[in-house]
Amino acid sequence: MLFFWLVAVYLPAIALAGWLVLPAERKTGIRKETDVLIMRASAHANRISTLIWAGPICVAGNCGRVAQAIRQQRKRFLLVFSLLGAPALIVQWFARGPDIGGYEDLPANSDPVVMALLQGEQLVPPPPLPPETFSTREIESERVELASASREWSLLNPDFRQRLLTVFRLMENHGYKMALIEGYRSPERQNSLAKMGPHVTNAKAFQSFHQFGLAADNGFYRDGRLVISEKDPWAMKGYQLYGQYAESVGLTWGGHWTMRDFGHVELRNPAARHHAQK
């Protein structure tokens, strides 16, 4: 590759630089020196690095004259070496990965299906579940004060909402209907939950992504009831799949934390958080 760039780009650029700044050498000197350099490069690969650095000086054969020419024709030299860098910039441009818009934080090996959903239509939140779904004895034993939690999709950050709905859509393909348990959380509610102890949350007001619309707690809806306990083997299997999909769209999953929160996901986006604070 280095030899290719030497022959295809660097040596012609050297010749062009010499042609522009050393008129007396245009007809014979540059041509002769370029031929010599090409022959040496092909026959002596170990000299390539030396030629790269010393090539422009060697073309003229006179360091003083080259230095004087550079001083007199600085603009031409800048033009030549700008053109010299252009091929590398072009190669770099076309070597970039696919442009995925606002999802630069996604894993490098993102699933094509995930990418298609994120870049496609804006997904619509599912219809809200009946309020009594969140106030059963079973649910209250798992999550305190869940009945008063906000489940308004409109209060979530648009980027986060699209990613979360993408996870919901992917989970449906495996027979899991997801339900939003809690999204945005007011500072007052956050402090209230924090006072209940670390078994509920360690985060006080504005220490949680919930306050910025960048976090949500989710569960499963099966046979007309909400299932959130990981003690249910079906639900636990679903949480593992849910965590994988959440991470595939750039979300952080609470299932890896010391105090595991299998239904929790958040988008750790400092820019979005700063915007929400305004």
82-127: per-residue pLDDT in tens?
Answer: 766 666 666 555 544 333 346 778 887 778 888 888 888 889 999 9
Do 157 and 196 share a domain, yes or no?
yes
Residue 39 has what pLDDT? 61
Do 58 and 171 share a domain, yes or no?
no
CA distance 29 to 222: 84
CA-to-CA dists, residue 257 to 103, 201, 206, 216, 261, angstroms: 24, 12, 19, 15, 7
**pLDDT over 60 at 244, yes or no:** yes
* Of residues 108, 99, 228, 121, the one with CA closest to residue 169: 121
The answer to the question of residue 31 being in a domain is yes
140-147 — which CB contacts under 8 Å span 24+ positions?
A: 142/228, 142/229, 143/181, 143/217, 143/228, 144/193, 144/196, 144/200, 145/192, 145/193, 146/181, 146/182
Query: In this structure, is the dihedral angle defined by the CA atoms of residues 249, 273, 145 and 200, taken in order, positive or negative?
Result: positive
User: In which domain, by residue range, is 69 found?
Assistant: 2-94
Work out the mean pLDDT of the chain and round it to a whole number.
79
Do 156 and 269 share a domain, yes or no?
yes
CATH number of the structural domain spanning residue 273? 3.30.1380.10
Do 201 and 256 share a domain, yes or no?
yes
Do 126 and 253 share a domain, yes or no?
yes
DSSP-derived secondary structure for 193-219: HHTT-TTT-S--TTSSGGGGT-EEEEE
Do 189 and 72 share a domain, yes or no?
no
Do 144 and 86 share a domain, yes or no?
no
Residue listed under structure tokens 């298609």? 116
**pLDDT over 80 at 218, yes or no:** yes
Do 122 and 259 share a domain, yes or no?
yes
Do 62 and 35 share a domain, yes or no?
yes
The answer to the question of residue 103 being in a domain is no
Residue 115 has what pLDDT? 84
- The last residue of a domain, from among 63, 94, 125: 94
How many Å separate Cα 214 from the centre of its chain?
17
Do 75 and 124 share a domain, yes or no?
no
Residue 110 has what pLDDT? 74
Residue 103 has what pLDDT? 78
Provide mean pLDDT across the span 209-221. Answer: 97
Provide mean pLDDT across the span 18-39. Answer: 54
Instruction: Quick: pLDDT tens for 46-55.
Output: 444 444 444 4
- DSSP letter at 278 equals -
- In terms of pLDDT, which residue wins out, 27 or 71? 71
Q: Domain count of the chain?
A: 2
Instruction: Quick: pLDDT tens for 255-268.
Output: 999 999 999 999 99
Residue 153 has what pLDDT? 98
Instruction: Quick: pLDDT tens for 120-146.
Output: 888 999 999 999 999 999 999 999 889
The answer to the question of residue 68 being in a domain is yes
The answer to the question of residue 99 being in a domain is no
Do 77 and 210 share a domain, yes or no?
no
The answer to the question of residue 105 being in a domain is no
- In terms of pLDDT, which residue wins out, 236 or 85? 236
Residue 15 has what pLDDT? 61
The answer to the question of residue 100 being in a domain is no
- The last residue of a domain, from among 60, 94, 128: 94
The answer to the question of residue 186 being in a domain is yes
The answer to the question of residue 101 being in a domain is no
Do 119 and 240 share a domain, yes or no?
yes
- The last residue of a domain, from among 67, 94, 121: 94
Phi, psi of 216 (to 5 degrees): -155, 150
